[in-house]
Structure formats: structure tokens, C-alpha cells
A and B are shown apart, each in its own frame.
Chain A
Amino acid sequence: MQYNYFFEIPAITLSIMTSIAGISVGLGYAFKSKKLKDFGAEELTQVIISSIILGLIIAFFYSGGIFQQIMNSPGVPSASVSSCPAQTASNPAMCLSYNYLVGSGYTYDGTYHQSIFDSLATLIASLLALSGILGIIASIKISLVIVSFSFSQVFNPIISEIKYVVGMLSGAEISVLVQGSLMLFSSAATTSMLLPVGFILRTTYPTRRIGSFIIALAVSLYVVLPMSYLLDIVVANGYQASYNAHGQGLGGIINESESLKNSLNSASASNSMVQYGIAGEIESQASSIQSMFSSYINSLLVQLSYFIAYSFILPLFSLVITGVSIREISSILGSEEHFDVLSLM
């Protein structure tokens, strides 16, 4: 059995505040001080409210509680993962979000999807390989009878385009990594640190609002944020069947470029002037690569736009939802409530 300090810390804190409130009320009666009596009654009210909040959170969060029942309900789209990092193992939504972003991928509606990070990394690797080969080709000079030429004018625009795309994809990759780290932090810190600290702060009078905010932050990070990523998964799979097409269209271009590079290398290595026939063949190969890339560039840019949506737009949407929930929950937790019975004291 794994014991969690989340039970012990709030319970001790509430008992401390009950003692303080009792002392305050008692002294208020003893010395006929209305201020002390009111303060004590108010603190007792807040202890009752905090106890209710604690009970609701336990009922919501503990294994088999409402949160897990929601996750397992038929209304929630089912997705499965092969493995979870240790920190996220207890929260299915967090585990799924992590695998969607940077983990080992997930299965949705019977289709396996790589994580966004893996897809980005594969595409970037393919583009860099192509860029390297084209760079080598562009730097090779071919000598004909009286003139020499190179393919730099043909391939430099392609290399520039690849550099631009790789730059954007790298930014998307960093964004995805940051989000994955946020998931791990949420898993590790919310129930073990933020919630107990928030409860302690909420129980004491001067720090009540800060405590409410921290509790709201913990609840939002642990529940709302991963559930919003679940929504992102549904949206992403709704308009694109699979984003596994990472670099598959590049395979043919890379092969053709390798072939051209080898031809040029062997022609250069022979240290003889190239005959017109061979030059024509090389030129047609270069033209073929250029036209293949021109055909591919559209799908590459579409892929880029999808990755930017997955890495920036949808997470921004998730963060906005999380921010709004933090604000609303903290205003509910920090609101002043009065029980008429206690105010008669």
C-alpha cells in the first residue's frame, strides 16, 4: 500500500485551526469580547468549508473516485497507451497527454499514432539529410570542354526552403518538449506538494486567498489541463487521419539525390573532362530532383501547418481553458461563506 501525505497534512492543519478557533471563541465568551467571538466563529466556518473541500477532493481524486469514473465512462473517447512514465501512471489523462506529446505514442480508434515529438524528429532528420546531400551536390563543380558549372543555383533555393521549414519544426519540437515537461511537473508536484501547501495556506486567515489560488492551480493542472489535451487529441484526429506521414514523401527525393551525388563524385574523381552525354544525364537528374521537390513542397508545408497547430495553437487553447478554470475555482474556494448557526455564537 502506498501512503499519501495528502490525508495527513490537511487533517492536522484543520485540527490546529479548530483548536485556535475554539480558544478564540472561549476567550471571547470569558472576557465578553465580540471581536474574539466573531473571529473564532468565522474560523470555525472556514474549517467546516475546508473540510468539505478536502472531502470532495478525496472523493474526486482517489483511485476509483469520480475522476477515474469520468475517464472510464463511454462518453470519453477511448485511447490506450503501451506504457506510462512513473510519475503519470496514476492519472490516465496525464499519461495519455504525455504519450500524445513526447512519449511512446497512443492508439486511437484502432489506429496507432506516434507522439508529436517522434513525428517531428523523424521529419527533421529526413529534411536535414536531404539538405546535406543537396549541399554537397551544390558545392561540386563539373567541367565541360571550356566551361564549368555547378548546381548551386538549382539547389540553393531548395536548401533555403528546407532551412526555413527545419527552423519552424525545431520551434514546434521545443514547444512540445516544454509541454511534456509541464505534464511531468504536474504529475509530480500537484498532489504531493501543491495541494497540501494550498490547504495549509487556505486554513490560516492571512493566507486564505493564496491558499485558494494554489488549490485551484493544483486541481486545474491535474484535471483540466490533461483533459483539454484529450480534447486536442480528438480534434487532431478529427481532421487528419494520421500524422504519421513524417518524411515518407522525402524518401524518393533523398534516393534520387544520393544517386546524383554519387554520379557527380565519380565524375569529379575521374579527373577528366565530362562528356556532353554524361553531363546531359546529370542535368536531367538534377531537374528531376527539383521537380520532385516542387511536387513535395506543398505536402511538406501542409505537414508543417499541422505540426504548428498541434504544437502551438491547440496547446494555447488548452492553456486558456486551464487559466480560466484556475480563476473560477480560486474565486469559488476563496469566497466568504457564513453559517447562520455559528454566527449566533
Chain B
Amino acid sequence: MQQKQKLRPIALYSKCNFGNALMGTMIALDIISMLNGIQDLLIRIGPILSAILFICAGIFYAVGQFMPSYKRASLHTMAIDMIIGAVVVAVLSVGSTTLAEASIHLISNQTTNTTVV
């Protein structure tokens, strides 16, 4: 939710600052709205998926405790793999949004009071 709120000011700033009704601007605003929607969806999916994988890892680990040793080892390996996968999903899907915001702010600050040619 906080990620979503952080992105909205940028979109709002974009929408308010550009008063000229150029065709390219209108198309750009539509594209940004669509992309923001997709990004919101992925921000929601990423942590949920990560949580699911963590839970599954826990379940596999717990089940493995009741299994014979050879089964236990494979289930524990699967659990560890799922934990690794969950960490990767969480880091990359959530961190990507932070990276995007930071990039936009950095580039905007670098090119303040200038116009992209």
C-alpha cells in the first residue's frame, strides 16, 4: 500500500505539471497509467508469492520431520530451495519498485530545469 502511495505522487505530478494537450503527452499519460497498473499488480503478487513459498517451505519441512530419513532429506532440500526462491522473489519484485523510484528521482534531479532534447 505504501509503495502504491509513493508512486501516485509521481503520476499525479506528471499529470498536473503537463498542461499542454499535445497528442504525444496524452498517449504518454495513458501508457504511464497502464504501466503503473501492471506495476501495482506485480507489487501485490510478489510478496504474496513469497509468503506462499515461505509457508510451503515450512509445511514441507514439518512434513519431512515425520518421514523416513531419505524422504526427510529430499523434503528438507525442497524446503530450502523454496526459501531461497521466496527470498529472491521478495527482493527482486519489491526492490525493483524502489529502484524505479530512485532512478526517476535521480534522473529528474540530474536534468532539473533542462529539457530532454
A interface residues (Cβ-Cβ under 8 A, vs B): 1-9, 11-16, 18-23, 25-32, 58, 61-65, 67-68, 90-91, 188-189, 191-193, 196-197, 200, 222
CB pair A62–B24 under 8 Å, yes or no, is no
Contacts A7-B104, A11-B103: A63 and B114 contacting too (C-beta < 8 A)? yes
Within 51-108 of B, Cβ neighbours of A (below 8 Å) are at 53, 56, 78, 81-82, 84-93, 95-97, 99-100, 103-104, 107-108
Cβ-defined contact, A91 with B117, below 8 A: yes
Chain A residues near B82 (CB, 8 Å)? 29-30
Asked whether B100 lies within 8 Å of A11 as measured between CB atoms, the reply is yes
> Provided the pairs A16-B38, A19-B93 are in contact, do residues A192 and B117 lie with their beta carbons within 8 angstroms?
no
User: Are B45 and A15 in touch, CB under 8 angstroms?
Assistant: no
Which residue of the partner chain, among A3, A9, A30, A62, contacts B31 with CB atoms under 8 Å?
Answer: A9
Task: List the 8 shortest-distance A-B pairs measured between CB atoms, nearest first.
Answer: A22-B92, A30-B85, A192-B24, A26-B89, A15-B100, A18-B96, A5-B28, A26-B88
Report chain B residues within 8 Å CB of A29: 81-82, 84-85, 88
Asked if B27 and A193 make an inter-chain contact with CB atoms under 8 angstroms apart, the answer reads yes
Residues A30 and B32 in contact in the complex (CB < 8 Å), given A4-B115, A23-B89, A90-B117: no
Nearest CB in chain B to that of A15: its residue: B100
In the bound complex, CA of A5 to CA of B82 (Å)? 39
B1 at interface, CB cutoff 8 A: no
Closest residue of chain A to B24 (Cβ to Cβ) is: A192
Interface membership of B116, Cβ < 8 A: yes
Given A12-B39, A15-B100, A191-B116, A26–B50 Cβ distance below 8 Å? yes
Contacts of A197 in B (CB 8 A): 31
Contacts of A27 in B (CB 8 A): 49, 85, 89
CB contacts (< 8 Å) of A31 on chain B: these are: 81, 85
> Which residue of chain B has the shortest Cβ distance to A32 in the bound complex?
B81
